[in-house]
Amino acid sequence: MTRIGAKISGLVLGGAMALGAVAPLAITHTAAAEQYRRANGDYRDNRGHWHHRSGGIGPGKGALIGGAAGAGVGALVGGGKGALIGGAVGAGGGAIAGKANQNHRDNEYRH
């Protein structure tokens, strides 16, 4: 096989492999798949694009953010023990605020 023939056959085989990897992505969505997406919080906008309602600040993220902020303020005010106490208080407050935010978000999407 010549050099050019080897390059062409390599390109053809590479293209076939790439097509084989991409082909499963072209599967059409059935009605059952659409129902599953809607049941899991997905929705379509006015152009037909799918979006997922997720994220936001829940109790876990709220505790992390509150703990870090409380530790920072506590360290400035009271040193080492202040950081520990501030972090604990901030984590508790952040978890409560995150839970309230999550409940509000769930109620908003449910109605």
Q: Which two tokens stand for residue 79?
A: 């040193």
Please enumerate in sequence order all residues whose Cβ is within 8 A of that of 33, keeping only pairs 6 or more positions apart, or say none: none
Q: Distance (Å, rounded) from C-alpha 100 to C-alpha 111?
A: 17
**Closest among 96, 70, 91, 92 to 81, alpha carbons compared:** 70
pLDDT value of position 111: 46
Ranges in the chain, pLDDT < 70: 1, 19-41, 52-55, 105-111
Sign of CA dihedral 97, 100, 102, 105: negative
Please enumerate in sequence order all residues whose Cβ is within 8 A of that of 92, keeping only pairs 6 or more positions apart, or say none: 63, 66
pLDDT value of position 39: 65
3-state class of 13 per DSSP?
A: helix
